[in-house]
Amino acid sequence: MRRFLRTGHDPARERLKRDLFQFNKTVEHGFPHQPSALGYSPSLRILAIGTRSGAVKLYGAPGVEFMGLHRENNAVMQIHFLPGQCELVTLLDDNSLHLWSLKVKGGVSELQEEESFILRGPPGAAPSATQITEILPHSSRELLYLGTESGSVFVVQLPGFRTLDDRTISSDSVLQWLPEEARHRRVFEMVEALQEHPRDPNQILIGYSRGLVVVWDLQGSRVLYHFLSSQQLENASWQRDGSLIVTCHSDGSHCQWSVCSDSRSPEPLRSSIPYGPFPCKAITKIFWLTTRQGLPFTIFQGGMPRASYGDRHCISVVHNGQQTAFDFTSRVIDFTVLSEADPAAAFDDPYALVVLAEEELVVIDLQTAGWPQVQLPYLASLHCSAITCSHHVSNIPLKLWERVIAAGSRQNLHFSTMEWPIDGGTSLAPPPPQRDLLLTGHEDGTVRFWDASGVCLRLLYKLSTVKVFLTDTDPNENLSAQGEDEWPPLRKVGSFDPYSDDPRLGIQKIFLCKYSGYLAVAGTAGQVLVLELNDEAAEHAVEQAEADLLQDQEGYRWKGHERLAARPGPVCFEAGFQPFVLVQCQPPAVVTSLALHSEWRLVAFGTSHGFGLFDHQQRRQVFVKCTLHPSDQLALEGPLSRVKSLKKSLRQSFRRMRRSRVSGHKRRPGGPMGEAQAQAVSTKAERTGLQNMELAPVQRKIEARSAEDSFTGFVRTLYFADTYLRDSSRHCPSLWAGTNGGTVYAFSLRVPPAERRMDELVRAEQAKEIQLMHRAPVVGILVLDGHSVPLPEPLEVAHDLSKSPDMQGSHQLLVVSEEQFKVFTLPKVSAKLKLKLTALEGSRVRRVGVAHFGSCRAEDYGEHHLAVLTNLGDIQVVSMPLLKPQVRYSCIRREDVSGIASCVFTRYGQGFYLISPSEFERFSLSTKWLVEPRCLVDSTKTKNYNRPSNGNGTGPKRTSGQVRNSRSQSDSEEKKPGPVMEHALLNDESGVLKEIQSTLEGDRGSYSHRRSHRVAVGCSLGNGEAE
Amino acid sequence: MNRGHRHGLSSGCLGTMEVKSKFGAEFRRFSLERSKPGKFEEFYGLLQHVHKIPNVDVLVGYADIHGDLLPINNDDNYHKAVSTASPLLRIFIQKKEEADYSAFGTDTLIRKKNVLSHVLRPDNHRKKPHIVISMPQDFRPVSSIIDVDILPETHRRVRLYKYGTEKPLGFYIRDGSSVRVTPHGLEKVPGIFISRLVPGGLAQSTGLLAVNDEVLEVNGIEVSGKSLDQVTDMMIANSRNLIITVRPANQRNNVVRNSRTSGSSSQSTDNSLLGYPQQVEASFEPEDQDSDEEDIVIEDSGEPRQIPRATPEAQSLESLTQIELSFESGQNGFSPPQDSSLDTELETRAQGQKLLEEDGTIITLAGRNEVLTP
């Protein structure tokens, strides 16, 4: 306490703190949660996605990202870019319009809301009179046409949102131009379609929901043509030359109407029900696109046979006798087709289909035969199977990076070779200073490797552990395998697949050694896999072992799930990480902690019952230790896991129900109304819930922790260290384990030297056991060397990547529990310092990580500190080894339990946490390591309308962009001086990795040889990144 | 404090101390080496021996410097008795079956004569009601009111001593709102309140906390602005030495400040104690609240030990004393049977860690000030 107070008053330290720490939420990775609207600007080549929580996100070329949030937290219903401008208009579900613009400030563009507007009808008019259903930004760039539920089209002038009452196209004025029979047969209803004539800005098409379509002359204020359909209209659009109108209808049909002055035929030119003859669902949107080759593309959403495929979310593409119904696993929000943007061009020549589904974005290459998917450089669906854990590895050696990418590229052969077609704007962000990997474990037993170096979180490689096990479902079942004559011609697209075959496969812990390429992965059913990176596909058997963590405990029965059955015999593994050892814990409880030491070839794992150490070189168990308290019945029988899974499955099914109910809602007559009602009901429910809460106030029991609390044996953390465990003269390898009950176990290990590694056994002996009196769960263990620097990672020193630890001074042990930080001396384990967190402020440590904070002023200055996330969502930096709190920022809402639980810190003061099941928020505590989008979008830029080329050819040249790029690079260099990049080069230990490889194979290269090699590779990296 | 006190005395008395023991009407006198008094059991055996009552269960009491009759029934209060006796340790022995428990007490007015008259004529004490001390297994405080002189009279700072797990702290807290006087008039602010006391729990047994008392501070940290969960965590983290400042719902039992209360502490609810001359209570000052939290290290030999401070600071002296007392009680030249006794002690500790935790804390007790509420 006194210690704490004293820190605040040292001005030099305060200054230094400002140089070291800074909190920023920099970028959101992944797919926006609950998207509700899609917009695309052909001139800017920028995509916009609106969400139900009122966010607008803009995406262009990789690295070009913007985000805006409406003050009102209402769902975004529509997004329209103003033609040829850096402005867009959003419509929210409260019927308000908002104008956003991309303004250039200090060399980078910023998205900001300019103004908002609510359409007011004449006094006394029904509210539906002004309920906006369609928006048409006119090519004159200053008018917005707003179609409403009443059938009137209002005109608003931009900027300023001034309503031009005299130009309103009311249904009455339309009516007087119609012949008698049309007037009688149709009552006007809401405007369903509003389109400008592609060639003549004075003509607009207005489609009404009852089936009437008119072409209105803006100057003459008269109806030029009208078309009457017998079916409810869903949407309508022009053909490129304006000679044809395409409409789609609620019965699953679409029609073409010829627009020529003399023919006033009431019948459509052509009409078809693509999935007839049985009743079909509505086609809600249609594109009719011409090609140079002559045969048009018809692309439409919906229209599936109601009875058998009514529940599918499909978009059909018809071209040249080919027809495919792309079948999405989640509801389609909206879609658009990327085609020739130049209005003067004769043909549309579509090249890509962009579909925004509820859970993912899918882009389909329409130029390549077979219409393959295009791999996303961003907006990845992180949650294609629910994320169960994550692990971050900083500063990946180039060699490992390349091997992971090579393994990943073999998995991506089915993707199109088309360059990413949405490439507007220029990213000005400096190249990422180092290569970072984010590994996410998923419920379906996969581990995904993401490139987390820059603004775009890109999937590099996907590892599946399923093959090792026998599961109920046949892995050979191929969903996309369909017979030739299947009708409708469905094809599954997208990667979102939330349904796990077997929850036991879920990945719970990941540990990757970046130097050796060893990976340890542990899962829900007590399975621990050790994997090795192999560049070739191989078929081999996985060595199996069982670790009986209950050992001498008698008479207990495990009532939880069974352990997974391993597949016997050799298994064929594709290139990449291939498992070679499988350890299964008995009882098969969730693995709660995992540590891998690639130098000693040891893997340690812990569950709620105990922990074990496995020698993966000799493939034998070294020891197991049961940590159970005799009274800990719960952990032994494992009913908790069962209860939990039941609860979880219930919760999921509810969520599914809710989602499907939401999915059912599309804007329809009365749709918004229905939603408003639903909201009213839910707020009412909330209110009654609140009242109930007030009747029974929340109470908290104050009770000291006792040793008998259940789950005290739960192993929370495992740590390998080479330190002075027994006496101060000799250091030895050691394994440390911390439990939920505040106990720390230390085992001294004897690892035979490399030359006798296979002959002698690894031995372990318990050396110490520390019982923390406050009995709070131990969440972190760390050993500091004589200079109070954390011990380096295994192999780090062996390969010159880190200073070797100081073995002269006395080592210190840092134990982080949920409530306190404590420093002990080694080997005597005397308490030296402590910082009580909970006792002083009531917060508990949820996540802790060691981070190196570099100074933004002095290039070579840096400090190691602890980054801490508490249960209140606060992030603190606590100094080492004096345990002084440095800074504190509030980061996550305290109610956001899953966000807090998902947080992961990097080694350089950044971090990630889930803000929704599908999005990681990236934050930075460091002044030096900051990854955030810096980009420029310019409407005046003369973009040539080149479509993206396929293959390896060069993309559209952006000369003007490059000029700007160089200017702003100097700009950014002021902020982040060159040495950042230099650091990357220095740290580029690619040559070293080769050396590691050779050491692993038993061949030690000479130092000088290694050195020269490294320089060479450093150069090649520089070239590589300059492209 | 224990250390300095003890050493000072022992040097002054040249190592030996006279004991005058009374059983019934018989007196026995013998002497004891002050620096190594040994264990209570040995002393008990000695008393039985000198009075020639080998198989009679007796209660042992002594008269302390204030003339109070206090019990001796474990090593701690035995050591306390030895260390405070000057120049003579007066021992009073009663047969257990005819023991008068109410004779023990902190009634400051009881003179030596009165003590004797109590023992001799047990009915006498009824004339004057006074605090009665029960005969617990261990003699230790469970609660106290502290900082009376620095707190407003409307507030009460209560310290709860939690030992082991035999008795739950036993209370619940809830959110609520309280009214504060501010420059702008009365203002409603959120607050934390005691919502329920568990029957038989520590909180209830102190009588110092009641339902609807507003919690203002926990171990010196204000709770305003903190959530219920935060306050809960703070209390649990401090549960081994919980100091809560409350504004009692019932403001009629407030401690009235007394000019004679020179120190910073006052005892329990009973106002009759307020006039009591203040005894040093250094061992319970907030600074050394850590002392009861020493972690236990079990070395590979399997011997548990408490973790001492690495760098002895002023406040850690005390914890060192603890270690000394609990493990090397015969440090000052106490020699022969030490090894064996130490071994047995460790064995018992290895069996139950709880026992060990308690050992660490009990030693620090200063026998004088402890009050057990009925």
Contact B237 A774 (CB under 8 A): yes
Nearest residue of A to residue B224, measured between CA atoms: A841
Distance in Å from the first CA to the final CA of chain B: 29
Q: Answer for the pair A239, A223: CB distance below 8 angstroms, yes or no.
A: no
Reply yes or no on whether the pLDDT at A297 is more than 90: yes
Q: Work out the pLDDT band at A611, boundaries 50, 70, 90.
A: very high
- Let me know how long chain B is: 374
Long-range contacts, stretch A138-146, CB < 8 angstroms, 24+ apart:
A138/A83, A138/A196, A138/A201, A139/A83, A139/A84, A139/A196, A139/A201, A140/A201, A141/A82, A141/A83, A141/A84, A141/A85, A144/A89, A144/A97, A145/A194, A145/A204, A146/A97, A146/A119
**How many CA atoms does the CB half-sphere of A59 hold within 13 Å?**
26
**What pLDDT, on the 0 to 100 scale, is given for residue B294?**
72
**A709-733 pLDDT, tens digit each:** 557 888 999 999 999 988 888 889 9
Enclosing H/E stretch for A132:
strand A132-137
Reply yes or no on whether the pLDDT at B125 is more than 60: no
CA distance linking residue B280 with residue B288, whole number of Å: 14
Of A65, A74, A55, A61, whose CA–CA distance to A29 is shortest?
Answer: A65
For chain A, the average pLDDT equals: 81
SS3 content of chain B, % helix, strand, coil (to 5): 30, 25, 45
Maximum CA pair distance of chain A? 106
Q: Work out the pLDDT band at A941, boundaries 50, 70, 90.
A: low
> What is the token pair recorded at A346?
């004769």
Q: Answer for the pair A268, A256: CB distance below 8 angstroms, yes or no.
A: yes
Looking at the complex, does the CB of residue A703 fall below 8 Å from at least one CB of chain B?
yes
- Average pLDDT (A877-884) is 91
Nearest-neighbour CA in chain B from A387: distance (Å): 28
CA distance linking residue A904 with residue A899, whole number of Å: 10
Cβ partners under 8 Å of residue A834, min gap 6: A820, A821, A822, A823, A883, B290
Contact A773 B170 (CB under 8 A): no
**A21-55 pLDDT, tens digit each:** 999 999 999 999 999 999 999 999 999 999 999 99
**What pLDDT, on the 0 to 100 scale, is given for residue A356?**
95
User: Which residues on adjacent β-strands are paired with residue A203?
Assistant: A217
Nearest-neighbour CA in chain A from B240: distance (Å): 7
Nearest-neighbour CA in chain A from B230: distance (Å): 4
Could you tell me the pTM of the whole model?
A: 0.75
Residue matched to tokens 């002189």: B149
Q: Residue A770 is nearest to which of B220, B295, B309, comparing CB atoms?
A: B295
Q: 3-state DSSP call for residue B16?
A: strand
Residue matched to tokens 């230094």: A16
**What pLDDT, on the 0 to 100 scale, is given for residue A686?**
52
Provide DSSP, A62-82. Answer: TT-EEEEE-SS-PPEEEEEEP
- Average pLDDT (A502-528) is 93
Nearest residue of A to residue B233, measured between CA atoms: A842
DSSP B365: -
Contact A698 B169 (CB under 8 A): no
Looking at the complex, does the CB of residue A71 fall below 8 Å from at least one CB of chain B?
no
Contact B296 A770 (CB under 8 A): yes
CA distance linking residue B90 with residue B96, whole number of Å: 19
Looking at the complex, does the CB of residue A843 fall below 8 Å from at least one CB of chain B?
yes
* Residue of A676 and A524 predicted with greater confidence: A524
Nearest-neighbour CA in chain B from A744: distance (Å): 9
3-state SS string for A517-547 = CEEEEEECCCEEEEEEEECCCEEECCEEEEE
Residue A434: left (phi > 0), alpha (psi -120 to 50), or beta?
Answer: beta
Looking at the complex, does the CB of residue B370 fall below 8 Å from at least one CB of chain A?
no
What pairing do the DSSP bridges indicate for beta strands A490-493 and A322-328?
A: parallel
- Average pLDDT (A200-213) is 90
Q: Residue A704 is nearest to which of B234, B240, B295, comparing CB atoms?
A: B240
At residue A337, what is the residue type? V
Looking at the complex, does the CB of residue B314 fall below 8 Å from at least one CB of chain A?
no
Q: Answer for the pair A931, A453: CB distance below 8 angstroms, yes or no.
A: yes
Residue matched to tokens 């639980």: A901
Q: Answer for the pair A833, A822: CB distance below 8 angstroms, yes or no.
A: yes
Q: 3-state DSSP call for residue A210?
A: coil
For Cα atoms A164, A170, A172, give the angle at the middle one, nearest 5 degrees.
145
Note if the bond before A475 is cis, omega within 30 degrees.
Answer: no
At residue A640, what is the residue type? L
**A234-243 pLDDT, tens digit each:** 999 998 888 8
Q: Answer for the pair A772, A778: CB distance below 8 angstroms, yes or no.
A: yes
CA distance linking residue A423 with residue B3, whole number of Å: 79
Nearest residue of A to residue B313, measured between CA atoms: A832
The alpha carbon of residue B276 and the mean position of all alpha carbons in its chain are separated, in whole angstroms, by: 17
Looking at the complex, does the CB of residue A94 fall below 8 Å from at least one CB of chain B?
no
The alpha carbon of residue A573 and the mean position of all alpha carbons in its chain are separated, in whole angstroms, by: 27
Contact B196 A699 (CB under 8 A): yes
**B42-59 pLDDT, tens digit each:** 888 888 888 888 888 888
Looking at the complex, does the CB of residue B201 fall below 8 Å from at least one CB of chain A?
no
DSSP A117: E
Q: Answer for the pair A286, A248: CB distance below 8 angstroms, yes or no.
A: yes
**What pLDDT, on the 0 to 100 scale, is given for residue B66?**
77
Nearest residue of B to residue A818, measured between CA atoms: B237
**What pLDDT, on the 0 to 100 scale, is given for residue B100?**
66
Assembly ipTM: 0.72
**What pLDDT, on the 0 to 100 scale, is given for residue B239?**
83
Task: Report in angstroms the alpha-carbon separations of A101 from A36, A55, A282, A503.
Answer: 20, 14, 35, 46
- Average pLDDT (B136-145) is 68
* Residue of A295 and B111 predicted with greater confidence: A295
CA distance linking residue B313 with residue B318, whole number of Å: 9
Cβ partners under 8 Å of residue B110, min gap 6: B67, B68, B69, B118, B130
Of A903, A702, A709, A876, whose CA–CA distance to B229 is shortest?
Answer: A702
Reply yes or no on whether the pLDDT at B103 is more than 90: no
**B-proximal residues of A, 757-776, CB under 8 Å:** 765-774, 776
Contact A697 B176 (CB under 8 A): yes
Most confident segment among A261-265, A628-632, B232-236, B276-280: B232-236
Looking at the complex, does the CB of residue A732 fall below 8 Å from at least one CB of chain B?
no
Contact B307 A831 (CB under 8 A): yes
Helix axes A990-1000, A1007-1026, angle to 10 degrees: 140
**A135-180 pLDDT, tens digit each:** 999 988 889 999 998 888 999 998 888 888 888 898 888 888 887 7
Q: Work out the pLDDT band at B70, boundaries 50, 70, 90.
A: confident
Q: Which of A506-520, A742-756, A780-794, B310-324 has the lowest mean pLDDT?
A: B310-324
Contact A703 B169 (CB under 8 A): yes
Contact B300 A841 (CB under 8 A): no
Chain B positions touching A698 (Cβ under 8 A) are 174-175, 228
Contact A842 B229 (CB under 8 A): yes
Nearest-neighbour CA in chain A from B307: distance (Å): 5
**A-proximal residues of B, 4-63, CB under 8 Å:** none
**What pLDDT, on the 0 to 100 scale, is given for residue A188?**
63
Of A447, A446, A422, A426, whose CA–CA distance to A437 is shortest?
Answer: A447
CA distance linking residue B371 with residue B374, whole number of Å: 9
**What pLDDT, on the 0 to 100 scale, is given for residue A982?**
36
Chain B positions touching A630 (Cβ under 8 A) are none
- Report the b/e string of B197-236 with b at 16+ CB within 10 A: bbeebbbbbbebbbeebbbbbbbebebeebbbbbbbbbbb
**What pLDDT, on the 0 to 100 scale, is given for residue A754?**
87
Residue matched to tokens 């140079």: A292
Q: Answer for the pair A199, A242: CB distance below 8 angstroms, yes or no.
A: yes
| Interface mutation target, options B165, B212, B233, chain A, most CBs of A under 10 Å | B233
- Average pLDDT (A302-314) is 91
- Let me know how long chain A is: 1027
Nearest residue of A to residue B228, measured between CA atoms: A700
Nearest residue of A to residue B319, measured between CA atoms: A831
Task: Report in angstroms the alpha-carbon separations of A93 from A59, A78, A133, A666.
Answer: 23, 9, 10, 12
Task: Report in angstroms the alpha-carbon separations of A619 from A544, A582, A594.
Answer: 9, 10, 17
At residue B221, what is the residue type? I
Reply yes or no on whether the pLDDT at B5 is more than 90: no
- Average pLDDT (B121-132) is 48
**B89-101 pLDDT, tens digit each:** 889 888 877 766 6
Of B233, B245, B259, whose CA–CA distance to B209 is shortest?
Answer: B245
- Average pLDDT (A441-465) is 93
**What pLDDT, on the 0 to 100 scale, is given for residue A921?**
94
**What pLDDT, on the 0 to 100 scale, is given for residue A958?**
36
Reply yes or no on whether the pLDDT at B241 is more than 60: yes
> What is the token pair recorded at A7?
């820190």
**What pLDDT, on the 0 to 100 scale, is given for residue A374?**
93
CA distance linking residue A596 with residue A223, whole number of Å: 76
CA distance linking residue A802 with residue A731, whole number of Å: 19
**What pLDDT, on the 0 to 100 scale, is given for residue A361?**
94
DSSP A618: T
SS3 content of chain A, % helix, strand, coil (to 5): 20, 40, 45
Q: Work out the pLDDT band at A761, boundaries 50, 70, 90.
A: very high
Looking at the complex, does the CB of residue B190 fall below 8 Å from at least one CB of chain A?
no
The CB density around residue B257, as the number of other CB atoms within 10 Å, is: 14
Q: 3-state DSSP call for residue B126?
A: helix
Nearest-neighbour CA in chain B from A37: distance (Å): 38
| Interface mutation target, options A5, A623, A695, A702, chain B, most CBs of B under 10 Å | A702
**What pLDDT, on the 0 to 100 scale, is given for residue B165?**
56
Reply yes or no on whether the pLDDT at A57 is more than 90: yes
Looking at the complex, does the CB of residue B294 fall below 8 Å from at least one CB of chain A?
yes
**A661-697 pLDDT, tens digit each:** 443 343 333 334 444 444 544 555 455 544 444 445 6
**B-proximal residues of A, 892-911, CB under 8 Å:** 894
How large a percentage of chain B has pLDDT more than 70?
53
Of B70, B111, B91, whose CA–CA distance to B18 is shortest?
Answer: B91
User: Which residues on adjacent β-strands are paired with residue A248?
Assistant: A235, A254
Q: Which of A151-155, A352-356, A374-378, A697-701 has the lowest mean pLDDT?
A: A697-701
**What pLDDT, on the 0 to 100 scale, is given for residue B4?**
41
